Structure 1
Amino acid sequence: MHLTHDPAAPAGTMIGFDDFLKIDIRIGTILSAEPYPQARKPAYKLLIDFGPAIGQKRSSAQITENHALADLPGRQVAAVVNLPPRQIGTFMSEVLTLGFADETGAVMLFAPDRPVPNGSRLF
């Protein structure tokens, strides 16, 4: 599967609603953010709290162009929490933090307009 940042790209292949329900997207609050200079592409290492059922998880996020490190702690973000962990260089990323490409292709984090409880599931 190839992901594209092109807003003019056609929609992906149709899936059934049951397939959508398999993707567990939750809200969490960033507890800490650190630079990740060893990453191939500029990235931050995030520690995100998803509430008591899921707990704290780590994520490598390529969000350096639109998000300053100092602004990240305390911010809520959406992430896929049921993918297998992925080794990103020397860092094990446990969740996929979600965002959208801006007009230059740089990632903007995806989050709710107002605070919601950590661990809330997207539906």
Structure 2
Amino acid sequence: MGRAAGGPHMKRLALLLMLLPAQVQAQAASFEDFFGPFRAAVLAGDAKAIRAHTRLPFLFQGRMLDASGFEAAVPALFDPPTQACFRKPELVDYGGSRQIFCQGSIYIFADDGGWKFIEIGVDD
């Protein structure tokens, strides 16, 4: 006797396909959940809150910064012209990351087991 079409494997596949859009939507929502507080922290100049949303150690000016080093660098990383970019940021999706181009730099965010600010690149 052969298997009937639509056996347990097909049902499992159908269930996975139905859940996929919800998973993609949840990932997008999780970026918004991350970025709102991160943006607010940048605009407030809140070094501790920015650090809490950042992957450490953080490479800046050729040095790997730990938590205290990162907090000390926040005024240089998020100076007033950069804060202005974060008031109405234009986020770009790129290879699974989100990016903001600002003042010749690229502020990069990635889902690293949860969204984090991971890097500043050079916009050349």
TM-score, with normalisation over the residues of structure 2?
0.24
Which structure would you say has the larger RCO, counting Cα contacts within 8 Å and 6 or more residues apart? 1
Q: Is the radius of gyration larger for structure 1 or structure 2? A: 2
| Higher relative helix content | 2
TM-score, with normalisation over the residues of structure 1?
0.25
| Higher relative strand content | 1
